[in-house]
A and B are shown apart, each in its own frame.
Chain A
Amino acid sequence: MMAEDSAAMVDATLLDRTVPLVDGLDARLRAGVDVADIGCGSGHAINVLARAYPASRFTGFDFSEEAIAAGRAEAEARGLTNATFELCDVAMLDRPDAFDVITAFDTIHDQAHPARVLAAIARALRPGGSLLMVDIRAASAVEDNLDLPWATFLYTVSTMHCMTVSLGLDGDGLGTVWGEQVATRMLREAGFTDVAIHTVEGDAFNNYYVARSMALG
């Protein structure tokens, strides 16, 4: 169900509304850059981007064999030669300076070790590279979410899935509702700069965080 819901969202918004959030991204993708999607799941976002931008090279990373197989099958069915998928625990991602753009769609808060993943992303980006991180729109403090119409739902999903999955792996248990303040702090601590938070019409549940890896010097 998560894959279906997320695929519908990708089809509706990725190219028209999400790509333009990152300054100059459309032009860079047209020219040809290296792109990674962290926690790519079934890889639909990668495949949509790969078809739209044939000059760029796309790599999806996920630790689910089933998901990687689904991504490869879709890429093959669409005849895409610029989309590859690698089975990888993204906390162990070790690809220094390999990518110009990295995306992470609703995956960071589920990680056992989110800070390690963000640090690995920062290392994997070339200096000045862009991160687009999509994650649940909420504040970090409970009392600041009283006006959020689906706050009860989010905290329950967190207790029964996101936080628990992370804690079950001896992780940090960040939870679904880690929120803007914690997310922004963790992005800065991982070495990102120019952190901006956008929203996309048609996706009331998510924030779109855009950040840059530190340039050298």
Chain B
Amino acid sequence: MTTLGEGATAFDEAALDAFADRMIGVLNDACTALMTSIGHQSGLFGTLAPTSARPVLPRGRRPLLRRLPKVSRGDGRR
């Protein structure tokens, strides 16, 4: 059995796992932001966006992005 010195706390494996998961999440999400920026700035998203096959949803059901004023939605063209 391990004896801990005064003031020492046992190593918390669950906290380590939670930290690792969060850190991987932070890295992945940060990377998604960078790649989204590249996709936008390079015009990739604008090129990929299907203009005729876009589903038409009732106004209230449209995703938030579609309800934003058009000017603030980058379409990737410059």
Chain B residues numbered 7-49 whose CB sits less than 8 Å from any CB in chain A: 24, 27-29, 31-32, 34-35, 38
Q: How far is the CB of A154 from chain B (nearest CB, A)?
A: 9
Q: How far is the CB of B23 from chain A (nearest CB, A)?
A: 10
Interface size of B by CB at 8 A reads 9
B24 contacts A156, C-beta separation under 8 Å: no
B24 contacts A153, C-beta separation under 8 Å: yes
Q: Mark A82-122, 1 if CB is under 8 A from B, else 0.
A: 00000000000000000000000000000000000000000
Asked if A182 lies at the interface with its beta carbon under 8 angstroms from chain B, I say no
Q: Mark A140-179, 1 if CB is under 8 A from B, else 0.
A: 0000000001111101110110000000000000000000
Q: How far is the CB of A149 from chain B (nearest CB, A)?
A: 5
Residues in B whose Cβ lies below 8 Å from that of A159: 35, 38
A149, A151, A156: the one within 8 Å of B34 (CB): A156
Q: How far is the CB of B44 from chain A (nearest CB, A)?
A: 11
B27 contacts A150, C-beta separation under 8 Å: yes
Residues in A whose Cβ lies below 8 Å from that of B38: 159
Q: How far is the CB of A20 from chain B (nearest CB, A)?
A: 27
B24, B29, B31, B32: the one within 8 Å of A149 (CB): B24
CA distance A155 to B38 in the complex (A): 13
Residues of A within 8 A of B (CB): 149-153, 155-157, 159-160
Residues of B within 8 A of A (CB): 24, 27-29, 31-32, 34-35, 38
Show 25 A/B contacts (Cβ-Cβ < 8 Å), sorted by A: A149-B24, A149-B28, A150-B24, A150-B27, A150-B28, A151-B28, A152-B27, A152-B28, A152-B29, A152-B31, A152-B32, A152-B35, A153-B24, A153-B27, A153-B28, A153-B31, A155-B31, A155-B35, A156-B31, A156-B32, A156-B35, A157-B31, A159-B35, A159-B38, A160-B34
The 5 closest A-B pairs by CB, nearest first: A156-B31, A152-B28, A153-B27, A152-B31, A153-B31
